[in-house]
A = this chain, B = another copy of it.
Amino acid sequence: SAQSPPVSDGMILSNEVQFELQRMQQQIDELKSASVISSAASTATFSSAPVLCCPSEKPTYPTKPKYPTARLTGFFQADAVGFSQDRANMETLGGGIAADGDIQDGADFRRARLAATGQAWDNVSYMLEMDFAFPGRPSFMDVWLDIDDVLGSSNLRVGQFRQPFGMDGLTSVREMTFLERALPFAFLPFRQIGAMLYGNRKDELATWAIAGFRYPTDTFGGNVGDNGGYGMATRLTGLLVNRGDGKGLVHLGGGYSFIDPANDQFQYRNQPEVAVGETGGGVPTRAIANVPAFVDTGAFAADNANLFNAELALAYGSFYAQSEASYAVVTQPAGPTLTLPGAYAHAGYFLTGETRKYNGKNGVFGRVTPDRSVGNEGGIGAWEIAGRWSYLDLNDENIQGGRLNDLTAGLNWYLNPYTKFQFNYIHAMLDRPTYGESDADIFAMRAQLDF
């Protein structure tokens, strides 16, 4: 009863279907033995009864192609943002003219992504992810292939991916406590095209990663340049304390990166931890279409940069906290070496009793799963309050990009593991050389769904 295998040079087989199929096979197998036995019981007694039940040879089924697998995944974040700036802030951002620095309220999709992910073979996985909301539209996000166990238990990743540097940068953007990453994100190499060796201890008490890449990679994953254009990054993390879920966890981590940019320049800048914008003809006359960078070095000539990062994170019961300090040490061809610091600390607490799970494979905090999701059977979801202080100083020597402190209060409502509403109130305290100190208050909310 052999059949020829179906032509299947590509298939989609979800975990659930696989599980269902296994579950059924198990029942069928049980039935088979039961059936054989009961019929054996019958036929043993009545030997004249025809033995018809069981083919003497076990039917052979063709081995089936298991690979490649492909799963459709993605998410979107719809934001609404309101701004309240003092006059000094508008003048600072408008180059002295308040009307040119008046950030407009608005609504926008911050991120909207579709991706295919799966296995090409039992030891090869992949991701092909595009973002449709970023400039570049679509922009290349995670586009890589992974080969397992290339060097001991370390895996090799080739393609474009987030370079291993910083806990905040490596936390999934689907799983962040606040709407945006903290201000020192400005220094991170983040997504570049290259190759990485990475792994973790089997008990998930430590992770390591080292990568080489081309820099700067454009929004489509490309980079050219004969004079430099390379970088490397590495990160080590470990758990000092790991008493199990909700019983106490202390994470320590460190990162280092060296970058020699192809275009011999850097530009560090950041928005006040919120973004909203519009493209095309519908923007009101003279209005700013996008939230401007509050601090900005402008592009400046540089030979290379050394980046340093330290991580500390804690979790106990429904409380967790995370902090990082970053330094960029930049060598200028015709100027002094710059040292630019950034730091942040944040904490969160679940009013509804959940804990913030730790992702031991990546050395970051993971997804929040409500104890009682809002659904057809009731439930109020998970409610979380959180606060953050965030700091970035882009003033040193000849570079005067400004200094920004942000204080954020956050309220998150997780309806279920895949749907959440987030509310952020941000108080941004800016100090820019020419225009001095100024403040902005920002109210932002987000609806996020991922799948």
Binding site for B on A (CB under 8 A): 1, 5-21, 23-28, 30-39, 41-46, 49-50, 52-55, 59, 61, 64-74, 76, 78, 80, 102, 104-109, 112, 114, 116, 118, 120-124, 126, 128, 130, 132-133, 136-138, 140, 143, 145, 147-148, 158-160, 193-194, 214, 216-227, 229, 261-264, 276-285, 287-290, 299, 367, 373-377, 415-419, 447, 449-451
Contact = CB atoms under 8 A, between A and B. Distances in A.
Given A132-B138, A225-B287, 17 more contacts: A13-B17, A17-B21, A31-B32, A70-B451, A104-B226, A105-B226, A107-B222, A107-B223, A114-B116, A145-B419, A145-B449, A158-B447, A219-B279, A219-B280, A225-B284, A262-B282, A263-B281
The list of the 9 closest CB pairs from A to B, nearest first, reads: A38-B39, A106-B224, A11-B14, A108-B222, A8-B15, A68-B451, A34-B53, A104-B224, A120-B418
A325 B2 CA distance: 45
A196 to B, nearest CB: 13
Contacts of A158: 78, 447
Contacts of A66: 16
Given A53-B38, A120-B449, A419-B120, A277 B224 contact: yes
Given A65-B16, A122-B375, A264-B284, A225 B105 contact: yes
Q: Which of A72, A122, A225, A227 has the most CB of B within 10 A?
A: A72
B132 A140 contact: yes
A387 to B, nearest CB: 26
A127 to B, nearest CB: 10
19 contacts: A6-B15, A21-B24, A37-B50, A38-B43, A41-B46, A42-B45, A68-B450, A78-B193, A105-B229, A116-B451, A118-B451, A120-B416, A120-B418, A136-B137, A219-B279, A224-B276, A224-B290, A225-B283, A226-B287
Contacts of A376: 122-123, 148
A43 B39 CA distance: 10
B282 A263 contact: yes
Contacts of A280: 218-219
A353 B67 CA distance: 22
B13 A159 contact: no
Contact of A28 (B5, B12, B27, B44): B27
B67 A418 contact: yes
A28 B32 CA distance: 9
A224 to B, nearest CB: 3
Given A14-B13, A140-B132, A263-B283, A223 B108 contact: yes
A126 B415 CA distance: 14
A65 B130 CA distance: 26
Nearest to A105: B226
Contacts of A27: 28, 32, 59
A38 B54 CA distance: 10
A9 B158 CA distance: 24
B114 A224 contact: no
Nearest to A137: B220
B26 A28 contact: no
Contacts of A69: 451
A229 B276 CA distance: 14
Contacts of A227: 284
Nearest to A81: B224
Contact of A38 (B42, B72, B277): B42
B38 A124 contact: no
B39 A109 contact: no
Q: Which of A74, A128, A130, A417 has the most CB of B within 10 A?
A: A128
Given A38-B39, A123-B376, A220 B109 contact: yes
Contacts of A1: 26
A28 B136 CA distance: 52
Contact of A37 (B52, B72, B109, B261): B52
